[in-house]
Structure 1
Amino acid sequence: MQGRPDSGFLQWRWKPDRCELPRFDPGTFFEIVRGKTMAFIGDSVARNHVESLLCLLSSEEMPLGIYKDAEDRTRTWYFPHSNFTLMVIWTRFLVLDEERVINGSVTGVFDLHLDKMDKNWASKLPEIDYAILSDAHWFFRKNYLYEKGKNIGCIFCSEPGIKSLDIDSALQMVIKVVLNYINNCKKCRNILTVLRTFSPAHFADGAWDTGGSCNRTHPLGEKEIDLASLDWKIRSIQVEEIKRARTVARRRRKFEVLDVTKAMLMRPDGHPNSYWGNKWMKGYNDCVHWCMPGPIDAWNDFLIALLRRHAFTDFTWS
């Protein structure tokens, strides 16, 4: 909880219409994933999700940390009793990116190459049984998109001769090529690819760098959320691309959606805000990541419900 003094956000739980959502059961989870490898592929919000999962699983079995990179962004844990491997693999955009440098200084502006995957995760794909993908937060900045070396557009720019792209349309291009890459991976296992939908931020009275904060202590009601927002447009595109991927899926490929957006649109009370313990960016609030324990734990309730539908049947092909 990072020192956050209130705890009311722990008492609320997502309840779907017309059904009960069982709480996460680590024993059942380990039974489903025994002998498998699961990788969460994405940015720091993907890491946030993994941290929640680790906390839940550790009540049943403590993992061994067997790998971490120099920046502690890509990590691997092993649960020996269950013979289960859990990874979090850092990537900003899923596709290859190059940050522009001017006079020796980084700019925060990236060139994205749609015909090349980020090798950080793509090189590990053949050893993965469950790939949990997420992407979007790094698109909220000036980024240039390329295909076969040719510029095809830019987000947040108005430059002569360069097509201006909306965030959602640029993200859709990336998701499409990533899912196609996974579908056509010849060395891959019987892989289940799960795309987690967009996890909204809740900055109020400013952006992250202009004094924005998230001070609410109660969730929003269903009628208070905006389903015409960019958050929802991004979610809808992600769902659309998974549906498209299913129509062309090869025999050993399965594609699913982990749909968290609506549930999280209602939880502006669940972020660390000023209680995030950051030593390098003092004065800024965190309304992107989620307190733990907290609303993010529901993502693993959703995840295990999804895995149950595929358990013991979808991974028996030769």
Structure 2
Amino acid sequence: MTCTGMNMKSSSTVFREKIQFGKVERCINMGRRPVRFILSTLFIATIFSIFLLYSPNPLYLISKQGLEQQASSPMQGHKSHQKRESCDLSKGHWVRETRGSFFYTNSSCATIPESKNCFKQGRMDMDFLNWRWKPDQCDLPPFNAKTFLQIVQGKTMAFIGDSVGRNHMESLLCLLSQEEIPEDIYKDSEDRFRTWYFRRSNFTLKVLWTKFLIAGEERMINGTGSSIFDLQLDKVDDGWAKHLPGVDYAIVSAGHWFFRVMYLHEGDNVVGCVYCNEPNVTNRNVDFALQMSFRATFNYINGCKNCSGLVTLLRTFTPAHFENGAWNTRGYCNRTGPFNETEIDLTSSEWQMRNAQVKEIKRARKFGGNQGKRFEVVDVTRAMLMRPDGHPGEHWGNKWKSGYNDCVHWCMPGPVDTWSEIFMAVLRKEAGLSSL
């Protein structure tokens, strides 16, 4: 073996030959500098490996390329970058996929609310779990809790909206708890404002409850709620707004509370009403009131001086699926499988609600872009129009109102978990990691 030959080999080969044959000693005496370089390199590599192994926060050292590799799935493998760029996640259909195991169960997630824990409340069919959302132009990767927590490490995320928005947060909480168990660190007296903390990831997850996003008061008659509301179209609900500074990701949603009699105000003036049918008041559709609510909300966010770096995500309206009646007239939802594309109505009020929301976030993006504000859409309306089988129905632990069915909220686990799959794809794109 020549000294030149030895220099062409790896350091591990050099030391193996030294031990086995004793031939390297002669070369060390002839060329100390190359060996010193090799030893120095080995020493530095060893120290760096020890640092990675024992670092308290090694996730900070993971590159974007590492996240890409970790989150990739076989479904992504043969898609071109150009095709992923053009993929619309909101357009697609549900395909049957029998899963060997679900994302979580009511035994593996301790935070499923009683009212969404459909199996605990007596639901027997399970086939509604065996469907996957398939966008027309690409495949949607399954949720990856580890990658999600890496993306949001050190951040604060707030779900701002009503109980359906909380339903989304509770689903995400269960998905993430399969990777890291969070700490329940705050709950208000009415359990409407809640905070969870993932200590290992230094990630804070909040729910900020609000009926309308904007300020709204129910009219009281003899001390009893009338289900008639006065909404202030030019003022957001301070209950959530005061918590906005310090939030890195805000997921905003609303909708179901707007299907009530409402008087719409700007300042001291009544500018319209919904379902009131008064001769001297302009009659407005539900989607108009919703649109004005989101306009006020996004205007507030764009004007927030203490919201630097905030990313606002709209989660679009999700429909109820009452059949043969409404929630208070014995309507029910007992289907066990999804609709197909031909069975949904894209002229429905639910679709108009979605369009009103999307119109306002486009407007907000146009005006907020120059201020560094970022707006994205988690568009789930079309997918959820097809899932009448995903609601609790009679299986929501009803102890107060006999005969009422819940066809508004969503079973856990269930189709609601797809919201976080779409959410994660949008989040990855916004973070510059990839797009679909």
> Structure 1 or 2: larger helix share?
2
Note if 1:254 corresponds to 2:374. Answer: yes
Secondary structure of the residue that 2:133 maps to in structure 1?
Answer: coil
1:75 pairs with one of 194, 209, 212: 194
Compute the TM-score of the two structures, normalised by the length of structure 1: 0.96
Query: Offset of 1:251 from its aligned partner?
Result: 2.7
Query: Offset of 1:111 from its aligned partner?
Result: 0.8
Structure 1 residues 82-231: aligned runs within 5 Å: 82-231=201-350
* C-alpha contact 1:194 1:257 (8 A) present in aligned 2: yes
**Whole-angstrom CA distance in 2 between matches of 1:20 and 1:42:** 29
RMSD value, Cα: 1.1
- 1:289 is aligned to 409
* Aligned amino acid, residue 105 of structure 1: T
**Whole-angstrom CA distance in 2 between matches of 1:310 and 1:91:** 26
1:71-103 CA deviation, whole Å, 9 max, x = no partner?
111100010111100001110000111111111
* C-alpha contact 1:113 1:149 (8 A) present in aligned 2: no
- 1:305 is aligned to 425
Secondary structure of the residue that 1:18 maps to in structure 2?
Answer: coil
* Aligned amino acid, residue 252 of structure 1: G
1:252-291 CA deviation, whole Å, 9 max, x = no partner?
2101111000000000011110000021222100100011
* C-alpha contact 2:235 2:296 (8 A) present in aligned 1: no
Query: Offset of 1:10 from its aligned partner?
Result: 0.5
**Whole-angstrom CA distance in 1 between matches of 2:223 and 2:392:** 34
**Whole-angstrom CA distance in 2 between matches of 1:254 and 1:281:** 43
* Aligned amino acid, residue 135 of structure 2: P
Compute the TM-score of the two structures, normalised by the length of structure 2: 0.71
Query: Offset of 1:160 from its aligned partner?
Result: 2.8
Query: Offset of 1:212 from its aligned partner?
Result: 0.5
Query: Offset of 1:246 from its aligned partner?
Result: 1.1
- 1:10 is aligned to 129
* Aligned amino acid, residue 20 of structure 1: D
* Aligned amino acid, residue 279 of structure 2: P
* Aligned amino acid, residue 259 of structure 1: D
Secondary structure of the residue that 1:126 maps to in structure 2?
Answer: coil
**Whole-angstrom CA distance in 1 between matches of 2:249 and 2:345:** 32
Query: Offset of 1:189 from its aligned partner?
Result: 2.3
* C-alpha contact 2:213 2:254 (8 A) present in aligned 1: yes
Residue 283 to residue 69, structure 1, CA distance change in 2 (3 Å): same
Gaps of at least 5 residues in structure 2 are 1-117
Gaps of at least 5 residues in structure 1 are 314-318
Percent identity between the two aligned chains: 60
Note if 1:279 corresponds to 2:399. Answer: yes
* C-alpha contact 1:32 1:312 (8 A) present in aligned 2: no
Secondary structure of the residue that 2:287 maps to in structure 1?
Answer: helix
**Whole-angstrom CA distance in 2 between matches of 1:115 and 1:238:** 17
**Whole-angstrom CA distance in 2 between matches of 1:97 and 1:238:** 19
Q: Which has the higher contact order (CA 8 A, sep 6+)?
A: 1
* Aligned amino acid, residue 152 of structure 1: V
Query: Offset of 1:312 from its aligned partner?
Result: 6.2
* Aligned amino acid, residue 53 of structure 1: L
* C-alpha contact 1:95 1:114 (8 A) present in aligned 2: yes
Query: Offset of 1:3 from its aligned partner?
Result: 2.1
- 1:40 is aligned to 159
Query: Offset of 1:308 from its aligned partner?
Result: 0.3
Computing the radius of gyration from Cα coordinates, the structure with the larger value is 2
Secondary structure of the residue that 1:294 maps to in structure 2?
Answer: coil
* C-alpha contact 1:203 1:214 (8 A) present in aligned 2: yes
Q: Which runs of structure 1 show a deviation greater than 3 angstroms over 4 or more consecutive aligned residues?
A: none
